[in-house]
Amino acid sequence: MGGSKYFRKSFLMILFITSIPGIISAIGIYTFGLHSTEDELRKIHVDEINERVQNIDEQFNYLEESLSYWAFEPSFNSTLMDTNFVRQFQKTRDLKQKLLILQGSHPLIDEVELFIDGEEPVLFSPYLDYISNKNLIKAYESLLRGSKNVTWSHDELFVNDTRYTNEIVLTHQIPGVVKNPFDAIIVKVDKTSLASILGTLTPYSDGMTMLLNESNKVLLSTAREENQSLSKLLSEELMQQKENTSSFQLDWEDKTYSVSYGEFDRIGSTWTYVSAAPISAITSPIVTISKVILIASLSILLLAFLMTWFASNRLYQPVRNLVNTFAKHDIQNGERKTDEFTEIHERFNALSNERRYLEERLSEQIPQLRQNFLVQLTKGYLYDFSENSLNTRMENYGWIVKNHTFILIDIQLTGMYELAHKNADDDSLVTFAMSNMAEDITKEYFNQYTIINHYDLSAGIFLIVPSHIQDLRSSLHQLSEKIISAINKVLALKVTITISSQTEKVKQISYLFDEIGRGKRYRKFENQNQIIHLNDLNERNDKPKLYYPFDLEKEIIQCVRRGRTSEAEAFIRQFFNYLVENNNKELNVQASIMQLYSTIQHEIMHSGIDPVVLFNGRNMFEELTQIREKEWVVRWMVDQVIKPYVNFVEDNMNIEMKMLVDNIVQYIHSHYMEDISLESCADIADTTAYTLSKAFKKVLGINFIDFLTTVRIDHAKELLLQSNHKINDIAESVGYRHSYFNRIFKKQVGVPPSQYRKMKSNSS
């Protein structure tokens, strides 16, 4: 090949011929097409700026709309002005969390503050802070005196006396539709993020972008320090150009800049954006390409004669490069094969095998990808996707969704706590085994399904079935019974299966999960197998009657007060049995258990103990909602709530003092109708009146007289409602004279005894 004259001449001619079009094209482009292309590039540049300006304007619109939405949040009402945020720490925490959510809801938000103009002005930023500086208070109050409920423009008093000097701030009065607002939300814009967005208006290294307010004051600029004089020149030129066109050219330091500007109509203000980019940067591609084509063509023509001698190598080079790409390692080790095409064949076979291996790996990950998709769907992360796009994503995961309907089945295990061999780590293992059994059984009935393991003794089965399938309800029931039978036999646990309604829309799948979460709580609170069809439940629409043993609740609280753990456990069992016998739905039983725990927690707080400290910051309500077995609830109440409280009290309180108070309390309950005084009770207890009074205050949290009065008034209420005795007789029976009884009863209850009896009789 290297000695062929014809080959060399032919190759030289080909190189020469292929170079001529490039040279002619380069000259033509450089000579005739430069100016027209420059104009077209400028137009494209302006169009791109307009599109990006529209995007920025939409960002600000979304920010303003989001703030207006939050301003009408029900939590931001007039009660905030009278709220003690130190005592009502739950409300304080909710406000802080809402402000944090607002702060993270938009990329342009840097900080969020809530100013409450109460008796003691408060500032959430987002943490609670009481304002004592009068100048600072006046500055924030100026926001409430503004004529516009939402605005970007603010009084100089607010700008100068707060930390928002030279900041871009959006404020909204609360509420936004009254003349006398009492709160204000302050949103500080993140200048770094805004500068990054503004930078898209000038995607060139030598360009710059400015944002001006209605007074032509620079709010934000992306100009570097060496370009500050350019910023000043642009501001001056803008004053002259503003009423003419939306773009102009500006010469500065031997460069010509293409300047585009326009306005943002913001609430309460009008902003102007200015984008300046060197024309050379905009039009440089056509000049560069023309020169490159011309130079390359000339170079190829000059080098063509030299490349002739290497023609054979050039023709062989594609094959050589391909072999080197496949076998670099073999070449370096001197193991390269002489037959290049055999090497290529082997390498292609290896790539084909690797492709099949990767496809198998991908197919193994499909179930996990499907689960992740369902989790994202139920969490609302895919809310903005359209129905068609969600259908496409599901089809990409291998699902067939056209002319199909979606159903969700929930499997909940119970009876785990009753197993004698239960360990702490058994829950996840049992759930894993249950999920595997459910998968093996489901494949016998349906082709499209996904098992969702919740790892908390529950799992879900997501089914996709044809819309025209016959006897679907029967198939679902048979599947449920077979799963229950298998779990009963292998795991020795009871099962509650909840079957959702059907939907054909992907965006409504999340509602199936919500429906299951609510519907499964209608199971009977007993350790037995159950199948719940939510369609049947919705049709019945049962309205259960309230059953709550208030007497047992009082007995439990008394046992807690006296530290009698065993008696408390017995009463809790009676409490639970009463609930199960009268209304055994999990929804109602769990609500009553929650109420009992709340009452115990109230007693704990009333004794001066912080539940957060006592329970080491645990979320006791959340733990209680996860318990679905009777014995587990009883043990949890005793071991996790009552015993820690009793131990804490015994460790931190004089037990003799508590016994002293308990004895006097029993004496008062037995002799309340007699002439009882602090001194007489002190004599009975063989102590001093001062010691007894101090013990009452420490143990019960109230003084002796208030406790005695409460006991007598409670008995008087019972006699007023349950007997026909005269009020004089009732007064004497509880240890009071008639005139004093009327006065003390009205002071405690709010109405005289006769009116109280009449009110209760009418209401009954």
Residue 244, pLDDT above cutoff 70: no
Beta strands 109-116; 122-124: pairing state: antiparallel
More confident residue, 533 or 248: 533
- pLDDT score of 167: 79
Q: Is 245 exposed, middle or buried (0-12, 13-18, 19+ CB in 10 A)?
A: exposed
In angstroms, the CA 208 to CA 277 distance is: 7
**14 in helix, strand or coil?**
helix
The CATH superfamily holding the domain 367-540 is Reverse transcriptase/Diguanylate cyclase domain (3.30.70.270)
Per-residue pLDDT of 718-753, as tens digits, reads: 888 888 888 888 888 888 888 788 888 888 888 888
pLDDT confidence of 6, banded at 50, 70, 90?
Answer: very low
Q: Is 656-763 the same fold as 367-540?
A: no
Per-residue pLDDT of 24-55, as tens digits, reads: 765 666 566 556 666 666 677 677 777 777 78
Segments in 333-410 forming alpha helices (H): 340-378, 387-396
In angstroms, the CA 90 to CA 98 distance is: 12
Stretch 420-434: mean pLDDT: 72
Q: Which of 254, 256, 250, 255 is nearest to 232 (CA)?
A: 250
pLDDT confidence of 1, banded at 50, 70, 90?
Answer: very low
* 546, 513 contact by CB (below 8 A): no
- pLDDT score of 9: 47
* 327, 343 contact by CB (below 8 A): yes
Residue showing tokens 């060139």: 204
Least confident of 284-293, 400-409, 425-434, 527-536: 284-293
Least confident of 268-272, 468-472, 496-500, 709-713: 268-272
Instruction: Specify the long-range contacts of residues 471-480, CB closer than 8 Å, at least 24 apart.
Output: 472/407, 472/502, 473/533, 475/445, 475/446, 476/407, 476/409, 477/531, 478/445, 479/409, 479/441, 479/442, 479/445, 479/446, 480/409, 480/531
Would you identify the CATH topology of the domain 656-763? Answer: Arc Repressor Mutant, subunit A (1.10.10)
The residues pairing with 210 across neighbouring beta strands, listed in sequence order, are 221, 274
pLDDT confidence of 273, banded at 50, 70, 90?
Answer: confident
Residue 539, pLDDT above cutoff 60: no
Q: Centre a 10 Å sphere on the Cβ of residue 719 and count the other Cβ atoms it contains.
A: 18
Per-residue pLDDT of 634-690, as tens digits, reads: 888 888 888 888 888 767 666 677 888 888 899 998 888 888 888 889 888 887 777
* 495, 486 contact by CB (below 8 A): no
Per-residue pLDDT of 45-89, as tens digits, reads: 677 777 777 787 777 787 777 777 777 777 777 777 777 877 888
Per-residue pLDDT of 305-342, as tens digits, reads: 556 556 555 655 665 666 666 655 555 555 555 555 66
In angstroms, the CA 531 to CA 533 distance is: 7
Q: Which of 220, 335, 357, 350 is nearest to 275 (CA)?
A: 220
* 216, 238 contact by CB (below 8 A): yes
Residue 603, pLDDT above cutoff 80: yes
**499 in helix, strand or coil?**
strand
pLDDT confidence of 537, banded at 50, 70, 90?
Answer: low
**CA gyration radius, the chain:** 41
Q: Is 681 exposed, middle or buried (0-12, 13-18, 19+ CB in 10 A)?
A: buried
In angstroms, the CA 610 to CA 601 distance is: 9
DSSP letters for 77-103: SGGGGG--TTT-HHHHHHHHHHHHHHH
Least confident of 367-381, 475-489, 508-522, 575-589: 575-589
Least confident of 99-103, 475-479, 482-486: 99-103
Return the structure tokens found at 684: 């009975």
Sketch the domain layout of the chain as residue ranges.
1-319, 367-540, 550-652, 656-763
More confident residue, 595 or 28: 595
Return the structure tokens found at 528: 């037995």
- pLDDT score of 758: 83
